[in-house]
Amino acid sequence: MNGAATPEPTEASAPTPQAPLEWRFSQVFGERGTGKDVQDVDIISAIEFNKSGHHLATGDRGGRVVLFERTDFKDHVSRKEAEKADYSISRHPEFRYKTEFQSHEPEFDYLKSLEIEEKINKIKWCQETNGASFLLSTNDKTIKFWKVQEKKVKKIWDMNMDTSNGPLNGSPAGSTMCGSSKLVPNGGILKHGGLPLLRLPVVTSQETSLAANCRRVYAHAHDYHINSISNNSDGETFISADDLRINLWNLEISNQSFNIVDVKPTNMEDLTEVITCAEFHPSHCNTLAYSSSKGSIRLVDLRQSALCDTHSKLFEQHEAPGSRSFFTEIIASISDIKFSIDGRHILSRDYMTLKLWDVNMNSGPVATFQVHEYLRPKLCDLYENDSIFDKFECCQSGDGLRVATGSYSNIFRVFNCSAGDDEVTTLEATRSPTRRQTQNPARPMRSTITRGGRRGAENTGIDANGNTYDLSTKLLHLAWHPTENLIACAAANSLYMYYA
């Protein structure tokens, strides 16, 4: 892996351990000042890089979508120019604010007497066309398809008439537009059918402005709250999922969708699990995966039937006998799944762990990473204050070697996926991300459980490394750059970026 003579890792030979990454602070947008309160509408609720990693989109609870673009390199720079300018992989990545627009507004469903929040649940980038960016955004009920492109602002550079020659320049048309050439009061010669000193206007485009246009609205297709959307590799279709159904859409058709998965029982009292997340395969347009509240992941092949209630593969981990408790099913619920870029693995996040699955092996996960094992004795308190229902997202590096997910106290953890490598890095969403690390950080799954803080404390305690934790500050949303070791994460209304 590190040299030409090193054989490629196989199932028989363990891969070469990767050197630990040294994470550094890169940027922060919307940093909160000391003592300042955060408005609920400003809290970030979705983060997504586009396929190239040159653009980043965030959505917030106020229904706004904010776009950022990378500025530390240009697409048109040649390799020689990049080398001369010292553009290297370790160069500090820089993004800048590009534009923002109001994607969703609060609505009210009069038929169901239901108030629909403007909060952005998910954002997905679509294929770029002719320099324009396209993306999907959704709240609980409505999906919108947006086009963002630069438009040139046209300005008139000059007027028709030269007003410097006096007020008589441009005599009434009735006295000058016909007849032979003759003198006019300003000393000019008026030719047949003409005006003195005629000057045509010049249209210039000196400035450009970004405009976001809503191209289509996909509405009235979900009875329950939309929890995920995913665009297909064919560039023409996408799926949307709620608790009980998954619908297939065509980007060009907004008034019709096809229901491809329906887990709603005839009698709602027989309902045992709900859909929590759905994602298309990154390269196979006929394959998608969806997770459930029971901790299982189902792989679906759209070629099998129009209604894909029967899965082609099932991934689940069975509980050890005697280990089941009241909280077992609650913490087993999967809050997020992601395919690796090559489509070989599926990463899933439940409340306590991060699991990596091989799509060719459904006997169990190939790796399990404990995120905050020190909270296991506190499950009763977490249930009482509803923290146990928090939905954390997960992400994987473009090379598939590392995975990351968030936790409480605005921290997130990065794990190494290589066999036999116990590398784990704990970072805090601040300008000093490594201040919470211990001298010899142990893998969380091996750490000893330390008793929490004062009896009755609901939101604070002490973790396994002796650091205090705060349940009121949680890092739910993060995204990994598709080609570089760059992570963007949201802490309340602030967007932090770290690189290695």
Distance CA 324, CA 412 (A): 28
Closest C-alpha to 240, from 184, 285, 279: 279
Q: Which of 181-185, 258-262, 494-498 has the lowest mean pLDDT?
A: 181-185
**Residue 476 contacts residue 406 (beta carbons within 8 Å):** yes
The structure tokens 């086009």 sit at: 147
Can you give the pLDDT at residue 465?
A: 62
Q: What pLDDT does residue 437 have?
A: 53
Average pLDDT over residues 412-433: 90
- In degrees rounded to 5, what are phi and psi of residue 216? -150, 155
Contact between residue 49 and residue 488 where contact means Cβ atoms under 8 Å apart: yes
Band of residue 283 on the pLDDT scale cut at 50, 70, 90: very high
Q: Is 281 helix (H, G, I), strand (E, B) or coil?
A: coil
Cα 382 versus chain centre, distance: 27
Tell me which H or E stretch contains 205: strand 203-218
CB-count burial class (<10 Å; 0-12, 13-18, 19+) for 450? middle
Taking 80 as the threshold, does the pLDDT of residue 129 lie above it? yes
Position 393 confidence tier, pLDDT thresholds 50, 70, 90: very high
Are the C-beta atoms of residues 227 and 121 closer than 8 Å to each other?
yes
How does residue 190 score in pLDDT terms, banded at 50, 70 and 90?
low
pLDDT of 422 strictly over 70: yes
pLDDT at residue 45 greater than cutoff 80: yes
> Which of residues 337 and 446 earns the better pLDDT score?
337
Q: Report the pLDDT value the prediction gives residue 439, as an integer from 0 to 100.
A: 38
* pLDDT: which is higher, 139 or 85: 139
pTM: 0.80
- DSSP element (H, E) containing 275: strand 275-280
Reference 340, options 359, 316, 318, 314; nearest CA is 359
Question: What is the separation, in whole angstroms, between the first and last Cα of the chain?
Answer: 19
pLDDT of residue 155: 75
pLDDT of 72-128, one tens digit each?
865 444 555 555 554 444 467 899 999 999 999 999 888 888 899 999 999 999 999
Place of tokens 């509980």: 319
Give me the mean pLDDT over the 377-397 stretch: 95
Paired residues of 77 in beta bridges? none
Q: Which long-range contacts (CB under 8 A, 24 or more apart) does 84-89 make?
A: 89/484
Query: Residue 406 carries which side chain, given as an amino acid letter?
Result: G
Contact (Cβ atoms closer than 8 angstroms) between residue 338 and residue 279: yes
